[in-house]
Chain A
């Protein structure tokens, strides 16, 4: 059995892998995103029907709304009061207000739209956590950061941003304000945990916890949502969070798949960690 301790010099392999990733990303942009937008657009229509929202929405205006949400996702939220994650807040992020929500989802968000709000808040928290981790890594606070870990964090952050944008697009198009705060229930815990992160392994463990909550939440909500389109959106995101989990386990040197605390691989994912 080979080990990663053996010295290995890549000559062309990195380029080849990068090329593969680029190809996949282009394919994703060509096919995956367009199909996603189509799916979310359908979800918007379905939710509007179920919520009796009468405001007309063309695909064009929907996409404009989605784009706005996407930009908003990149310049997130809202944890200002405490150190830890807040310390990593960028200038753009600090422009945004701290919501300090006492009830969540906010009043007026019911049914599937309440689920969308919770999902957006979880995605916001993931984006914020990855951003904080990347910021800390750049500042040299985590020691040496392997290249693969940096790529993982940047890509996962990007995907969580897209997830948040999709849910917020649904909310906007149904007459609700986009959710720009991080999940108020989990944020204190994640903040406290992030304050203890001092190296890449601990960061990966924190990311694993967050991804596990997200995946479990989507799995649980997939069974509870009413709108077929919402079910489809939730179901299209859960496997991606699960893939993040698999790679995080691999990064941690563990079996690359969902498992018990004792390390036994699981054939069925669970909802015990759901938000």
Chain B
């Protein structure tokens, strides 16, 4: 298994090619971004602070007592998180930079998680491993799309992770040792779920904030994918908590009969996707 996200992307059955139709509208209309993005930026320090504090609490909660990411591969994540550079320029660019900061964090988290034996190693559930690999590759593609959009606007690229999560993840990394395989897997799933929900909620909200329809289409094409990641993680989390990891499998449809009834709905708890955890537009923007 490779933990290199870009190498992994190449191995995903040429999915870039297969998604040409989905991306074409974005690339075709990138010029529109240039024209429509030069709008005044909103700045909401109170909102940013509130979000920051809320997610510090939220992430602490999701990590629970399981010290997860640390021992294996934590250095790369810490390196990413240590990068400074935030805030400023047009609103669409800032929103896209914030999106990149979220994708950067997600990619790094999955990359690190896949170095753990109970996520990417021989003792891991193969469905979880594949999910993490595919999901990491998809976040790389999202990051590439946001990068292209920023580039078309002549904006500065955001190569760092969202600063709101730096202290919390650092703490998680510092407290990694001692987790059992099951505790560790549950902790990773919980952290990934938190990040996927933040991404999905942020992009849902961003569809109402961006000024260009092309940007809106880009966020609309990604938000549902992140929501699917969250749905899968919710189901996996429930089965892990129920001490039923053997039911996390992909096999012939008839075997679905072994799943508990609640597994059929745990992946989509809300009829309307919330946005109360969405990152403010400037939170991950480059200064």
Contacts and interface: CB of A to CB of B under 8 A. Distances in A.
Given A4-B259, A13-B260, A264-B15, A223 B266 contact: no
Contact of A235 (B145, B223, B260): B223
B95 interface: no
B7 to A, nearest CB: 16
B252 interface: yes
Contacts of A242: 224-225, 227-228, 231
B261 A147 contact: yes
Contact of A14 (B19, B145, B255, B262): B262
Contacts of A200: 253, 256
A212 B97 CA distance: 30
Contacts of A8: 244, 246-247, 258
A81 interface: no
Nearest to A269: B224
A239 B265 contact: no
Interface in A207-237: 215, 219, 222-224, 228, 231-233, 235-237
B192 to A, nearest CB: 14
B225 A149 contact: no
B221 A257 contact: no
Best-surrounded residue of B21, B208, B213, B276 (most CB of chain A within 10 A)? B208
A144 B248 CA distance: 21
A258 B228 contact: yes
B6 interface: no
A151 B261 CA distance: 6
B231 A27 contact: no
A255 B134 contact: yes
Main secondary structure of the interface of B (DSSP, over half): helix
Nearest to A246: B228
A35 interface: yes
A254 B18 CA distance: 18
Interface string A20-37: 110011011001110110
A262 B223 CA distance: 23
Contact of B266 (A20, A27, A240): A20
B28 interface: no
Nearest to B232: A256
A205 B145 CA distance: 31
Nearest to B201: A239
A122 to B, nearest CB: 15
A238 interface: yes
Interface stretch (A100-108, A134-142, A156-164, A188-196): A156-164
Best-surrounded residue of A147, A250, A253 (most CB of chain B within 10 A)? A250
A40 B249 CA distance: 39
A225 to B, nearest CB: 9
A104 B192 CA distance: 43
A99 interface: no
Interface in B129-179: 130-131, 134, 137-138, 141-142, 145
Interface stretch (B44-52, B58-66, B267-275): B267-275
A250 B220 CA distance: 23
B204 A236 contact: yes
B222 interface: yes
Interface in B229-287: 229-232, 235, 238, 241-276
Nearest to B246: A2
11 contacts: A10-B244, A148-B256, A219-B224, A237-B271, A240-B270, A240-B272, A242-B231, A245-B228, A247-B264, A247-B267, A268-B23
Can you list the 3 inter-chain pairs with the closest CB atoms, starting with the nearest? A4-B255, A239-B227, A242-B224
